[in-house]
Amino acid sequence: LLQNTMRSALLLLGLFGLGLCSVKTLWPLPTTVQVGGQEVLVSNFTCLQTNVQSDVIAEACDRYNRWIFPVAATNFKLLDSSNAIGQVAINVQSNDFDLQLGIDESYSLAITTSGVKINAGTIYGALHALETLSQCIDYDPARHVYAAQTVTINDSPRYPWRGLLVDTARHFLPLSFLKSHVVEALAMNKMNTLHLHIVDAQSWPLVVPQYPLLSGRGAYAPEATYTAKDIADLVEYARRRGVRVVPEIDVPGHSYAIGQGYPDLVAHCPSYEANVNNIPVDPTKNATYEMLRAVIGGLVAVCPDKTFHTGGDELVRGCW
C-alpha cells in the first residue's frame, strides 16, 4: 500500500512536468517568460548540438521525442502547408559534465517560426530546457497536429539544492522503481538531488562484500538489497537526467540492523534495547571503524558526489 501511495504521489509530481502543456502553466515557473503569441506546428524533432557534443543530450532528445509525441500527427496536408518546425538547436558552452552542487543549470529557450533554440552553460541546463520544451507543446486532437506558441524563456534555479529524501531502510524500493518513478519524477520537476537514505535501524539493504552479514541478516529479504553495481547504475541513470545521488549511512545511532549480523559491533544496553532506534555502534572497538571504513569507502567509490551524509540523528548517548 505504501509503495502504491508513493508511486501515485511521484507520478502526480511527474504530471506537472508533462501534462500541463501551456506556457501559462509551466512547472516550475521559469524566471522570465515572453510569449510571442504566434502558433507554430511541431513535428518529431531532431536535435542539432552546435557546440559541445554530448551523448547525454542525444539520449535526452530521443527520450523527449517519445514523450512529447506519443501519437502520430496525421494531418499531413496541414503540416506540409505550414512548414512545421522540426529542429532543436542546442548550444552548450561548457564541456564540464561533472554534476556537483552549484553547477550552472541555467538555460534559455526560444520557440520561433523557424525552429527551437536552446542555450545553456552546461548539459544540465540543456536538460531542463528540454523539459520546459516538452511542456510547451500540445496535441490538438481536432486537427491531429502538435502545436506550440512562439515564446522566449530564460530560467535558472532559485536554490542549488532541490531534493527529495527516500528512505529505503524502512521501506525498501527496488532499483527499477527508484529509476523509473523517483528519478524520472525529480527530473520532470527540475529537482536535482536524490538523498538516498539507504540504511537505518530497521534494515540494512546495502551489500558490503567485506561484511556479508550486514545485508545477509540485516536486509528484509535476500532480494531486498543493493549491490555496489546497483548504486553505480542508479547514480549514472540519475546523472543523465541531471539528478545527483547523495547517499546516507545513518551512524553512530540507529545501528540495530548492524547488530543483526555483527552483534559485537554495537553497544548492548538492556535498559534501552526495547526500542531498536536506541542501539548505537560500539565506539570503543577498532573493528567498528574498520567496518565503517569499508562501508563508506565502497559507497564513495561509486557515488562521485562531493557530499556524503552520515546521519548522526537521535543518538542515545546513555547507552555509551
Catalytic residues: 314
Residue 62's alpha-carbon distances to 66, 69, 88, 97, in angstroms, are 6, 11, 12, 19
179, amino acid identity: K
Alpha helices in 205-315 (DSSP H): 213-218, 228-239, 256-261, 286-302
DSSP structural state of residue 158: S
Determine the 3-state secondary structure of 161 from DSSP.
coil
- CA-nearest of 263, 249, 238 to 297 is 249
Q: Nearest 5 degrees, angle CA 46-CA 48-CA 53?
A: 125
Find residue 147's DSSP bridge partners.
41, 138
Contact (CB, 8 A) for 237 and 230 = no
Q: Which three cell numbers stand for residue 268?
A: 548492548
- Quote the distance between the C-alpha of residue 184 and its chain's center: 6
CA distance 59 to 123: 12
- CA-nearest of 206, 200, 170 to 301 is 206
Rounded to 5 degrees, φ, ψ at 108 are -125, 145
CA distance 301 to 135: 37
